Amino acid sequence: MQIGQRFRFNRHVIAVAAQGQKANSFVVPEGAVVELIADPFKYRSLVFVQYGTETVIMLRDDVKKHAHLIDKPFSRSAVS
């Protein structure tokens, strides 16, 4: 998984969003698209994704097992 990749979920999953001092969990529905924006724990269990207007934390395994890649990250070197 690389920063900038976008994934579409084929089933619902749980995510956590921080709102001030509280963390709220919620369901990300089947068909939702997220973009990987940070992977601070490299090869550990959590990743940060952009879901709509929110940055949320998800389990890496949920993304790997229950979503498929829909496009690759934009590469400036590919532009001539």
Q: Which residues pair with 24 in a beta bridge?
A: 17
Task: Give the DSSP per-residue string, 34-47.
Answer: EEEEE-TTSSSSEE
Classify residue 30 by its DSSP letter. Answer: T
Residue 20: per-residue pLDDT = 80
Q: Does 75 have pLDDT greater than 80?
A: no
Angstrom distance (rounded) from CA 35 to CA 38? 9
Q: Over the stretch 43-60, which tens digit does the pLDDT of each residue have? A: 678 899 999 998 999 999
Q: Are strands 46-51 and 33-38 parallel, antiparallel or unpaired?
A: antiparallel
pLDDT at 61 over 70: yes
Q: Which fold has domain 6-74?
A: SH3 type barrels. (2.30.30)
The structural domains of the chain, with segments of one domain joined by +, span 6-74
pTM, 2 dp: 0.80
